[in-house]
């Protein structure tokens, strides 16, 4: 017997929509791609920072112990757990929490922690997630409820975070897919009693929360992650769901998801991360530390470049007007209109 | 430069901004082009620095949804890039909107034209709803028209995900004249049906050539609706008297739609009436609307390219670059030789359209001046 159709993520009606999403197109990777990307980012950052150190004072980078890609990842992982804590504190819905975590992970596929420390990136990613999931709160009440945090900590980074996400804000989550599965399994002919099903659902949801500490959402579609978590919670129910959908093959595909969640789903040890963070203080990019010598030098260079550009633009307009170019006036008007970029 | 900044700079270089064409509440819109192809585009520049809460919610919504939605009847977001503190949305360029077309008294709408616009509207909306997205601000001014006549749903600044049943949403959405009665009564649990009501109002407006339910205040809006459609009974709309902001407005009798829409076919009025059913759950869905007999009956919908166009639209298609407009000669005939082209008289149509288009004339005069 066919189960009744449900508005679930795994149902055929909705799957094609996921396939046209930015998540499907731009934010899914193989394990190997993730490794290569992170290593490349890490190595490029080390080279650039070493260079900055050396040009400031030659020889100064030789005893700096830079972070490797794995250590960066551990630090990010710790800040994923901070998002969950903050969401508990603010009583944000699951959607906000999951989205903030996704943003944080995606950000560090484009940036390294040596350039941007995850603390403020985490705060910004979460704040942005409140908006993109339509649960906005004022920045003032957000930061005033977080110790040692000012609105500028978030405002300064919001654009960079949005840009790193390529302004692709929509995220498909495993917990929503699990909701779809939950509606389905209640319709199964040999479904266990409701209270037991509820326990299964809660356990599966816990596995989904654990999965957020891992890379699975960057590798697998949400429907498969949800099924894997249901299997971890109750293999028989997951199997009969798969049978009812003629999707037994799906059960094989989720083995590696289960393995990854079990292997990588632990919270990193505070001591290890504290040591990483201590080293980060020394090896972070001085050009990104507001007020530092290297930061000021970089900014001065950029400012003089854009000043030069402005002057050239103004000069062209002036020349054009002087030479009686009929478009000179119009050009001048447009240049004014556009003074800000 | 960071990889992220570099990628942004590369994207930015692909687009050229030409001149300002409009201004909305939170953005300035420019005409521009794609550097590689010369294709005309619009750049919507949103100032970011000015908001104390950072990125503005309307911009966030618009970007979020347009990034995901790709459909011939939904405006296409081609790219997003930043310049200093501005967010720039690169959109396909659209010549006009349905409001301007409705208001252009020189245009005559055939029933087949209206059917064509309605079909495109429902197709775009069905796609949004299929993606669980509520638009929440449908009105003629947000339905833009491309040069090939395609209608595109635009302005997703108020859109949101269709919520799970039981999830509270704000009722302060949709421009008043297009706002359904459940929102006016403060209903916080609503659905895709809110957009369908708006579409119904637009359908009526296309036939009447004037807004169908133009209330002067939120309270007057309900009265305007009830005057047109009769005060709903408990049977017609179970539970509406229990809605948060329910007030008794008075008893108005139901007048048949036929009395107002005298020329409409029975199919037309049947579909219209299904869009403006009081009980939101009984309102037709976009998907069912597309299968309504109205769309299969004669006359068949006009091909988009043959739909009535405003003056601005036709000139936009015909005017630039200047030397491609062979009708130009005639316009400047009083002012001297100017740009001389073939001696043939311009097509009458083009001449009418070019007169009254000030910018092209100004530019032409300037060219004259340099030549002299
Ligand atoms: N894709 C486009 N192609 C051509 N012109 C456009 C395009 N989008 C917007 N415009 C022009 O820019 C104007 C401003 O557009 P925008 O969507 O920012 O605001 P609006 O809809 O007019 O107002 P509001 O922000 O209050 O809804 C429009 O009225 C229109 O003239
Ligand atoms: Mg608008």
ipTM summary value: 0.82
pLDDT digits (tens, 9 = 90+) for B240-285: 999 999 999 889 999 999 999 999 999 999 999 999 999 999 999 9
Domain boundaries, chain B: 3-94+319-352, 96-312
pLDDT digits (tens, 9 = 90+) for A259-276: 999 999 999 998 999 999
Helix (H) or strand (E) holding B82: strand B77-83
Residues ≥6 apart with Cβ < 8 Å to B148? B304, B305
Whose structure tokens read 């977001």? B77
> Is there a common fold for A19-55+64-172+267-288 and A174-264?
yes
Q: Are A181 and A128 in contact (CB under 8 A)?
A: no
Choice among B56, B95, B113, B137 that is catalytic: B137
Question: Which ligand sits closest to the CA of B146?
Answer: 1
What whole-number distance in Å separates Cα of residue B210 and Cα of residue B212? 6
Nearest 5°: phi and psi at B150? Answer: -65, 135
For atom 9 of ligand 1, which residue has the closest CA? B29
Residue of A nearest to B53 (CA): A139
Nearest-5° Cα angle at B150, A14 to B16:
95
Length of chain A: 341
- The DSSP line for B104-168 is -TT----HHHHHHHHHHHHHHHHHHHHTTEE-----GGGEEE-TTS-EEE---TT-EEPPPTT--
What distances in angstroms separate CA B74 from CA B80, B102, B152, one per listed residue?
17, 20, 5
- Ligand 1: residues with CB < 6 A are B 21-25, 27, 29, 42, 44, 91, 93-94, 144, 155
Domain boundaries, chain A: 19-55+64-172+267-288, 174-264
Whose structure tokens read 């919507």? B44
Rounded to the nearest 10 degrees, what angle do helices A174-185 and A194-211 cross at?
160
DSSP B340: -
pLDDT at position B340 is 30
Token readout for A34 is: 């993730």
Token readout for B57 is: 């919610």
CATH number of A174-264: 1.10.472
Q: Are A284 and A46 in contact (CB under 8 A)?
A: no
Nearest 5°: phi and psi at B161? Answer: -70, 140
Q: How far is residue B282 CA from its own chain's centroid?
A: 26
**CATH architecture, domain defined by A19-55+64-172+267-288:** Orthogonal Bundle (1.10)
What whole-number distance in Å separates Cα of residue B311 and Cα of residue B359? 14
The β-bridge partners of B16 are B33
Active site residue B2: no
Say yes or no: A22 contacts chain B, CB-CB below 8 A.
Answer: yes
Instruction: Inspect the interface and report whether the beta carbons of A131 and B57 lie closer than 8 Å.
Output: yes
Residue of B nearest to A159 (CA): B55
Q: How far is the CA of A228 from the centre of ligand 1 (A)?
A: 46
Give contacts of A131 with chain B, Cβ < 8 Å.
Answer: 54-55, 57, 60
Q: How far is the CA of A191 from the centre of ligand 1 (A)?
A: 53
Domain B96-312, CATH 1.10.510.10 — does that match? Answer: yes
Q: pTM higher than 0.80, yes or no?
A: yes
pLDDT at position A14 is 44
What whole-number distance in Å separates Cα of residue B257 and Cα of residue B259? 5
Q: In a structure prediction context, what are the per-residue pLDDT tens digits for chain B, which is 372 residues long? A: 577 888 888 889 999 999 999 888 778 999 999 999 999 999 999 877 667 898 989 999 999 999 999 999 999 999 999 887 789 999 999 999 999 999 999 999 999 999 999 999 999 999 999 999 999 999 999 999 999 999 999 999 999 988 766 677 888 888 899 999 999 999 988 899 999 999 999 999 999 999 999 999 988 999 999 999 999 999 999 999 999 999 998 899 999 999 999 999 999 999 999 999 999 999 999 999 999 999 999 999 999 999 999 877 776 655 444 333 333 333 333 333 333 333 333 333 222 222 233 333 232 323 332 322
Instruction: Inspect the interface and report whether the beta carbons of A128 and B61 lie closer than 8 Å.
Output: no
In CATH terms, the fold of domain B3-94+319-352 is Phosphorylase Kinase; domain 1 (3.30.200)
pLDDT at position A188 is 85
Specify the ligand 1 atom closest to the Cα of B137. 27
3-state secondary structure of A217: helix
For all residues of chain A together, what is the average pLDDT? Answer: 84
Nearest-5° Cα angle at B312, B19 to B369:
60
Rounded to the nearest 10 degrees, what angle do helices B57-68 and A118-132 cross at?
80
Q: Are B141 and B101 in contact (CB under 8 A)?
A: no
pLDDT digits (tens, 9 = 90+) for B69-96: 999 999 999 999 988 778 999 999 999 9
Best mutation target, A123, A134, A329, to test chain B (most B CBs within 10 A): A134
pLDDT at position B342 is 34
For residue A251, pLDDT over 90 is answered with no
Strands (E), chain B: 15-23, 27-34, 40-47, 77-83, 86-92, 96-97, 133-134, 143-145, 151-153, 160-161
Q: Are B190 and B280 in contact (CB under 8 A)?
A: yes
- Burial class of residue B333, CB neighbours in 10 A (0-12, 13-18, 19+): exposed
Size of interface A-B (CB pairs under 8 A): 82
- The DSSP line for A255-312 is HHHHHHHHHH-SPPPHHHHHHHHHHHHHHS-GGGSTTSHHHHHHHHHHHHHHHHHHHH
The β-bridge partners of B153 are B74, B143
Q: How far is the CA of B22 from the centre of ligand 1 (A)?
A: 6
pLDDT at position A325 is 46
B194 is in an annotated binding site: no
Q: Are B144 and B117 in contact (CB under 8 A)?
A: no
pLDDT at position A250 is 84
Considering only CA atoms, give the Rg of chain A: 25
Q: Are B175 and B138 in contact (CB under 8 A)?
A: no
pLDDT at position A70 is 95
For atom 29 of ligand 1, which residue has the closest CA? B22
For residue A240, pLDDT over 50 is answered with yes
Residues ≥6 apart with Cβ < 8 Å to A212? A80, A84, A98, A101
Q: Are B63 and A169 in contact (CB under 8 A)?
A: yes
Reported as a pLDDT band with limits 50, 70 and 90, residue A336 is: very low
For atom 20 of ligand 1, which residue has the closest CA? B24
Say yes or no: B23 contacts chain A, CB-CB below 8 A.
Answer: no
pLDDT at position A193 is 86
pLDDT at position B85 is 74
Whose structure tokens read 């597309």? B290
A270 CA: distance to closest CA in chain B (Å): 30
Q: Which region among A155-159, A307-311, B77-81, B227-231 has the lowest average model confidence (pLDDT)?
A: A307-311
């Amino acid at each position: 017997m066919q189960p009744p159709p449900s508005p679930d993520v795994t149902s055929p009606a909705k799957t094609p929509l996921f396939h046209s999403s930015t998540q499907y197109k731009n934010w899914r990777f193989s394990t190997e791609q993730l490794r290569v990307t992170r290593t490349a980012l890490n190595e490029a950052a080390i080279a650039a920072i070493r260079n900055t150190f050396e040009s400031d004072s030659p020889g100064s980078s030789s005893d700096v112990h830079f972070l490797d890609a794995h250590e960066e990842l551990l630090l990010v992982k710790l800040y994923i757990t901070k998002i969950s804590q903050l969401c508990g504190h603010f009583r944000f819905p699951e959607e906000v929490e999951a989205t903030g975590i996704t943003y944080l992970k995606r950000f560090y596929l484009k940036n390294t922690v040596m350039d941007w420390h995850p603390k403020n990136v985490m705060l910004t990613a979460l704040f942005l997630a409140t908006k993109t999931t339509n649960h906005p709160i004022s920045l003032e009440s957000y930061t005033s409820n977080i110790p040692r945090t000012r609105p500028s900590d978030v405002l300064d980074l919001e654009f960079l975070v949005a840009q790193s996400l390529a302004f692709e804000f929509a995220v498909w989550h495993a917990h929503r897919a699990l909701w779809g599965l939950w509606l389905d399994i209640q319709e199964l002919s040999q479904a266990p009693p409701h209270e037991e099903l509820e326990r299964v659902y809660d356990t599966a949801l816990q596995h989904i929360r654990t999965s957020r500490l891992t890379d699975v959402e960057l590798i697998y579609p949400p429907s498969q992650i949800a099924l894997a978590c249901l299997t971890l919670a109750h293999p028989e129910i997951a199997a009969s769901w798969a049978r009812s959908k003629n999707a037994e093959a799906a059960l094989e595909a989720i083995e590696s998801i289960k393995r990854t969640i079990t292997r990588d789903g632990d919270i990193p040890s505070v001591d290890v991360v504290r040591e990483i963070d201590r080293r980060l203080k020394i090896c972070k990019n001085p050009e990104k530390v507001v007020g530092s010598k290297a930061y000021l030098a970089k900014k001065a260079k950029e400012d003089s470049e854009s000043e030069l550009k402005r002057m050239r633009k103004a000069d062209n307009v002036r020349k054009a007007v002087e030479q009686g170019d009929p478009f000179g006036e119009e050009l001048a008007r447009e240049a004014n209109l556009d003074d800000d970029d | 430069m960071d990889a992220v900044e570099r990628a942004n700079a590369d994207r930015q270089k692909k687009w050229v901004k030409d001149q300002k064409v409009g201004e909305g509440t939170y953005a300035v819109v420019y005409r521009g082009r794609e550097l590689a192809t010369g294709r005309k585009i619009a750049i919507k520049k949103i100032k970011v620095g000015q908001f104390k809460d950072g990125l503005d919610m309307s911009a966030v919504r618009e970007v979020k949804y347009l990034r995901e939605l790709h459909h011939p009847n939904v405006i296409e977001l081609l790219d997003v890039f930043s310049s200093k503190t501005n967010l720039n949305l690169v959109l396909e360029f659209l010549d006009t909107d349905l409001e301007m077309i409705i208001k252009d008294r020189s245009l005559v709408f055939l029933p087949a034209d209206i059917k064509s616009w309605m079909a495109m509207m429902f197709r775009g909306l069905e796609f949004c709803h299929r993606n669980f997205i509520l638009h929440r601000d449908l009105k003629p001014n947000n339905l833009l028209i491309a040069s090939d006549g395609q209608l595109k749903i635009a302005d997703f600044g108020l859109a949101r995900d269709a919520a799970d049943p039981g999830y509270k949403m704000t009722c302060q959405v949709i421009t008043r004249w297009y706002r359904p009665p459940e929102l006016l009564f403060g209903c916080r649990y609503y659905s895709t049906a809110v957009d369908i009501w708006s579409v119904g109002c637009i359908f009526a407006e296309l036939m009447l050539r004037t807004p169908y339910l133009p209330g002067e205040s939120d309270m007057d809006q309900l009265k305007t609706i009830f005057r047109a459609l009769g005060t709903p009974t408990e049977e017609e709309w179970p539970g509406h008297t229990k809605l948060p902001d329910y007030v008794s407005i008075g008893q108005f009798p139901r007048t048949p739609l036929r009395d107002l829409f005298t020329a409409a076919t029975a199919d037309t009025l049947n579909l219209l009436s299904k869009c403006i059913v009081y009980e939101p759950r009984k309102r037709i869905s976009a998907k069912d609307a597309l299968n309504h007999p109205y769309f299969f009956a004669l006359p068949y919908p006009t091909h988009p390219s043959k739909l009535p166009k405003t003056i601005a639209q036709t000139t936009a298609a015909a005017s630039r670059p200047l030397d491609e407009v062979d009708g130009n000669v005639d316009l400047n005939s009083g002012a001297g030789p100017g740009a001389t082209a073939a001696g043939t008289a311009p097509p009458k149509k083009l001449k009418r359209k070019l007169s009254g288009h000030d910018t092209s004339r100004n530019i032409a005069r300037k060219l004259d001046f340099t030549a002299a």
